[in-house]
Amino acid sequence: MSTSKKAILNELFDAVVEGDVQSARKLAEQAVEQGFSANVALEKMMDAMRAVDAKYIRKEYFTVDVAAASTAMREAFRVLEPHLEVKPVNMVGKVVIGSLKGNIQGLGKDIVAAALKSAGFQVVDLGVNVSPETFVTAAEREKAQVIAVSVSVDETVPFLKGLVDILNKKKLSSKIKTVIGGRAVSEHACKEYGINAYARDAWDCVKKVRELLNR
Residue 100 falls inside a structural domain = yes
What is the model's pLDDT at position 86? 66
CA 59 to chain centre: 24
Q: How many domains does the chain have?
A: 2
Assign 179 a pLDDT band (cuts: 50, 70, 90). Answer: very high
| pLDDT higher than threshold 90 for residue 2 | no
Q: Quick one: what percent of the chain has pLDDT higher than 70?
A: 95
User: Do 78 and 124 lie in a common domain?
Assistant: no
Whether 108 and 33 map to the same domain: the answer is no
Structural domain contains residue 89: no
C-alpha closest to that of 16 among 64, 72, 55: 72
Q: Which of 3-12, 94-103, 113-122 has the highest mean pLDDT?
A: 94-103
Based on the fold, state whether residues 56 and 147 are members of the same structural domain: no
- Same domain, residue pair 120 and 151: yes
- Do 10 and 38 fall into the same domain? yes
Q: Is the pLDDT of residue 1 over 60?
A: no
| Pair 210, 126 in one domain | yes
Q: Among residues 48, 83, 118, which one ends one of the domains? A: 83
Contact 31, 44 (CB under 8 A): no
Rounded to 10°, the helix 107-118/38-57 angle is 150
CATH code, domain with 202: 3.40.50.280
* Mean local confidence (pLDDT), 36-46: 87
Q: Tell me what pLDDT residue 42 has.
A: 86
Which residue intervals of the chain are DSSP H helices? 3-18, 21-33, 38-57, 63-80, 107-118, 132-142, 159-169, 187-193, 202-214
DSSP codes, 178-201: EEEESTT--HHHHHHHT-SEE-SS
Domain that holds residue 138: 94-214
> For 53-108, what is each residue's pLDDT tens digit?
788 879 998 878 888 888 898 889 889 988 887 665 555 699 999 999 999 888 78
Question: Quick one: pLDDT band at residue 26, thresholds 50, 70, 90?
Answer: very high
Sorting pLDDT into bands at 50, 70 and 90, what band is 133? very high
- Please give the angle made by the CA atoms of 156, 141 and 169, to the nearest 5 degrees: 55
**One domain, residues 107 and 203:** yes
Return the CATH number at 78.
1.10.1240.10
120 conformational bin, left if phi > 0, alpha if psi -120 to 50, beta if neither: left
116 and 141 belong to one structural domain:
yes
Same domain, 55 and 156: no
Q: Give the residue-averaged pLDDT of 128-142.
A: 97
Mean pLDDT calculated for residue range 173-199? 96
Residue 88 lies in a domain: no
Report whether 110 contacts 42 (CB < 8 A): no
Residue 150 clears pLDDT 80, i.e. is over it: yes
Indicate if 121 and 153 belong to the same structural domain. yes
Last residue of a domain, one of 83, 111, 134: 83
Q: Is 158 in the same domain as 185?
A: yes
Domain final position from 44, 61, 83: 83
Q: Rounded to an integer, what distance in angstroms lies between the CA atom of residue 22 and that of residue 208?
A: 35
What's residue 39's pLDDT? 85
Same domain, 193 and 110: yes
Q: Are 167 and 139 in contact (CB under 8 A)?
A: no
